[in-house]
A and B are shown apart, each in its own frame.
Chain A
């Protein structure tokens, strides 16, 4: 999906440290693209970590990474091989 002809938005790749998560739900609540959802599975400590529900929606805003109190989730830029100019993320 491109915009203005060739421009492609950045996509993010989400890494979740399931065992460190304490199921607080901050990332799920505040993801602006509703990418995450609390799963039904349990981690070793008995919490429900999030899972990636709508992977394509992630736009690398890194809000989940900044908000997580457990340092248990972070986002990297998804490497893609399509053509088109990428919009630089402002950070």
Chain B
């Protein structure tokens, strides 16, 4: 027996700008799934939504900031991380999440990625890796595997791609994980862990790109590629990051690889300057 129902809404809508729906992502694109995992993490952590800021760069994943009902910024290509650095240092009590793509963060923004990791800047970087520059038509990226086809590598890519967890670990990142988009609740759990901690957290989520990567490489549609990534992934927590290379349609090693404590930039600044300047220095920011 059913009573007269009130129209119910999807709980994730509370955190989305519904006046901008439907979003621009293709059918079968994994970015929406990652956004839902992120929203779930925020809900489970009971994060104060007024205190969290999302910064995106340019690209398909770069549009995430525009769809989230939080303080959000859509910045220039590759400069989301230094923008986030400024935001964090100006207002240390806010939690900053950089949500952007592989081309944006690891390509043009590569320098900023390694320096923010080096400084252990307190922010969470969610890098959605679809192995190409999707928004502009599927060009080869720093993460495109060898032999994959891309619009600027029409005969197959011959450049060596980045091993992103290894790069960030070498630079000094203190929380590094990699999942595929289908590892829904594991992505959520990683984001929860990262939101809970302080320091440079980096989560790489491998997602299908239906219209470009999948189509150019004849890998089916978004669903086929999503399934492929998940079925060929193997969870190896604490694996050595140097073994995490990705080959074209090869095995994907996922899991949480690095989780260690280290003073953040502001902690180190406050500790050091207090030691050297003594009473003349007042520690900066509400460092919890």
Contact = CB atoms under 8 A, between A and B. Distances in A.
From A22, A69, A74, A76, residue with most partner B Cβ within 10 Å: A69
B8 A29 contact: no
B37 A66 contact: yes
B126 to A, nearest CB: 15
- Bin chain B's interface residue count: 20 to 34
A71 B223 contact: no
Nearest to A47: B27
A24 interface: yes
Contacts, number: 74
A65 B10 CA distance: 8
Interface stretch (B28-36, B49-57, B143-151): B28-36
Contact of A15 (B10, B22, B25, B227): B10
B8 A76 contact: yes
21 contacts: A15-B8, A15-B10, A22-B22, A24-B29, A24-B221, A25-B28, A65-B10, A66-B40, A67-B33, A67-B184, A68-B36, A69-B29, A69-B31, A69-B32, A69-B33, A70-B32, A71-B12, A71-B21, A72-B10, A74-B8, A74-B12
Interface of A: 15, 17, 20, 22-26, 29-30, 47, 63, 65-74, 76, 79, 81
Interface of B: 1-2, 8, 10-13, 16, 21-23, 25-33, 35-37, 40, 182, 184-185, 188, 210, 221-223, 226-227
